[in-house]
Structure 1
Amino acid sequence: MTPSRTALVLGATGGAGYEIAEALHRRGWQIRALSRRPDYGRTLLPYADWLPGDAMLAGDVADAAINAHLIVHAVNPPGYRNWRGLALPMLDNTIAAAKATGSRIMFPGTVYNYGPDAFPLLKEADPQNPHTRKGAIRVEMEERLQQAAGQGVRVLIVRAGDFFGPHSTGNSWFSEGLVKPGKPVKSVTWPGRKGVGHAWAYLPDYGEAVARLVGKDAELSAFEAFHFEGHWFEDGREFADEIRRVAGTPDAPVRRFPWAVVQALSPFVRLFRELSEMKYLWDVPVQLDNRKLVQCLGEEPHTPLRAALFKTLEAMDCLPGTALSERGFNLRDC
């Protein structure tokens, strides 16, 4: 009998961390999680071994990583606050723990690393020349991971577009910008320009892809990066149209995101400043080339869009009192 493996998940209460933990658990992994609120975590992932601690404290991470085969570094600073002061030290703690235990690090990546010179189709080896502050921090994080790989730490990075899903968090464009959680969908706010493509990653599919890649650990090199394509639309507005259809309100208005207001207030509101910095990702098409991932796995996990949107909106309590069949489709037809 093959002994079970242990994965330490940092950020297990977040969208990506939660779904990666779920996918690994389905494959027999023992899940260990570090949290400042372990009691809250136990309500989300009751099968996990929840340890009290802080990813900012090197000793807490080191202790939690003992005998772990994998460290999933899916923790992010809350509310876009103090990225340099928090994100980099947390990553350094993970790297130190991986060096001590021999664990592979799995790091959820973003498209922030890239600048316009790499658009519109992003490949893993494209140069990373960001023109935003957060993009520069992301590049520095990946550089530290690559340096660690040269020192014996195995690293797996899986980059994706904007996340959505039943366990997406407050940092999600879907739950914070497009629709209002806890309310019926009476309108959809769309941040993008007309005719501009956009990539969305359904979190359960992303978690499944990560778990499958982790399962091929023996075939992977010390430093591996993959791109997850997810749901891509040549005209991103089609995504808003599908939200309306699944919500049963196909005639609901699609409203423009108030970029002018956000930019005007950005000097005074931290969240608006962070959003304004990333506006360029809504002004130009940014697609992820997943050919390397498909070559490795044979396919990319892909839930049909309407099924994915239904599960997301249902979890957000945006579909009150209306059955799926009343919307003119069912999950088997999606």
Structure 2
Amino acid sequence: MSVLVLGAGPVGSNVTRAFLARGDEVTVATRSGTTVDGAATAHLDAADAPALSRAASDHATIVVCTNPPYHRWRSDWPPIVDAVIQAARATGADVVMVGNLYSYGHASMPMTERSPEDPAESKGEVRRELWGSLRLATERGDIRAVEVRASDYFGPDATGDAHLGTRFFEPILAGKRSWAVGNPSLDHSWAYLPDLAATVVAASTYAGAWGRVWHVPAASDLSRTAICRQVNARYGVHGSVSAIPSWVLGGVGAFSPMLREVAASSYQFRSPFVSDAAQTERELGVRATGWDEALDATVGYYRGLSNR
């Protein structure tokens, strides 16, 4: 199969490697022309429908892994999805959208593939609208699309702003304090990046009806406090994790559009935020990587970074 992957961040690069490992031909498309070993590279603005249609020609599947900055979701996401729909309609390519759990809002826990969408803030509204456009285009018979939804991801490559990424692991492994958004003692689902990629691959070849949502199986539903304790015990360190005071996050958000959006979605860390993927596991045959294996690989990655 030939696959066009939009985006080469932590999600896009892991998805690309998963398709390559299966023997597929993959082209990675980004504005900057970021390369992933083994894949072809394309310079592309994903919101440019004619350019995207040209890039998607001769590809069986378009996987949308791009993700604009939080504060630009309302302006940047709709043109991208419109262009993806146009390109899929023009080329006959299937669409796999990588999404998240924001559209569920304050849903009953655990969130399942059939939970009602009732967003708690604007980013959740955007995600609901994006999937709504793809679902309706599928129901009309214009395209075939699915959305693969993951809770917050972790693992090798999960640097930057990931809640269980660099800001969490590096201070703890150095015996220092990690500062967390929300209450770190609450249960939260964590999706291991290779499991997210495996779910995308499985969804792309699903033989049943499309126009549906899949959930990435969570490797853990542990709180960040519990994970910190495990890291300390397992790797002989003495780190800690504490909550960022809400007044600090709100105050900084007054000057930073990005942090203002982080504060808006912090409800996900003020009560348990847990997903269920039983239906996806049953129908796609995917399973989460064992927690100890995933944690060892993740910690090994961050220790490798600190030794460079």
Fold equivalence (TM over 0.5): yes
* Equivalent position to 1:25, from 20, 28, 49: 20
Match of 2:119 in 1: 130
Which ranges in structure 2 are unaligned for 5 or more consecutive residues? none
How many percent identity over aligned positions?
A: 28
Mapped partners of 1:245, 1:223: distance in 2: 44
Alignment of 1:1-334 (within 5 A): 5-11=1-7, 13-38=8-33, 41-42=34-35, 45-78=36-69, 80-116=70-106, 118-152=107-141, 153-175=143-165, 177-180=167-170, 184-193=174-183, 195-215=185-205, 217=206, 219-233=207-221, 235-249=223-237, 251-300=238-287, 302-317=288-303, 320=306
User: Does the CA-based 8 Å contact 1:71-1:106 persist in structure 2?
Assistant: yes
Normalised to the residue count of structure 2, the TM-score between the two structures is: 0.91
Shift of 1:145: 0.8
Does structure 1 conserve the Cα–Cα contact (< 8 Å) formed by 2:184 and 2:223?
yes
Per-residue displacement from partner, 1:163-214 (whole Å, max 9, x unpaired)?
1121224241223542448x83533333342652100001011111221232
Q: TM-score, normalised by structure 1?
A: 0.84
Contact 1:185 1:318 in 2 (8 A): no
Inter-partner Cα distance in structure 2 for 1:176 and 1:234:
18
Structure 1 residue 319, shift from structure 2 partner: 6.8
Give the CA deviation at 1:155. 1.0
The amino acid that maps onto 1:63 is R
CA apart distance, 1:317: 4.2
Deviation at 1:132, TM superposition (A): 0.2
Answer yes or no: is the 8 Å Cα contact 1:232–1:287 preserved in 2.
Answer: no
Could you give the per-residue CA deviations for residues 204-249 of structure 1, whole angstroms, max 9, x where no partner exists?
111112212323x3x2213121112313335442122233345431
Please, what is the CA RMSD of the aligned residues? 2.2
CA distance in 2, matches of 1:234, 1:51: 39
State whether residues 6 and 64 of structure 2, in contact with CA within 8 Å, keep that contact through their aligned partners in structure 1: yes
Is contact 2:166-2:302 (8 Å) kept? no
Letter of the 1:232 counterpart: S
The whole-number CA distance in structure 2 between the counterparts of 1:191 and 1:132 is 17
CA contact (8 A) 1:108 1:159 kept: yes
Unpaired runs of at least 5, structure 1:
322-334
Cα shift at 1:318: 6.1
| Partners of 1:283 and 1:120 in 2: CA distance | 13
The structure-2 alpha-carbon separation of the partners of 1:105 and 1:255, relative to structure 1 and needing over 3 Å to count, comes to same
Aligned counterparts of 2:262 and 2:231: Cα–Cα separation in 1: 22
Task: Work out the CA distance in 2 between the residues paired with 1:194 and 1:33.
Answer: 36
Matching residue's letter, 2:110: L
Query: How far apart, CA to CA, are the structure 1 residues paired with 2:227 and 2:129?
Result: 32
Equivalent residues, number: 306
Distance 1:247 1:319 in 2: 16
Q: CA–CA distance in 2 between the matches of 1:254 and 1:64?
A: 45
Structure-2 separation of matches of 1:58 and 1:52: 14
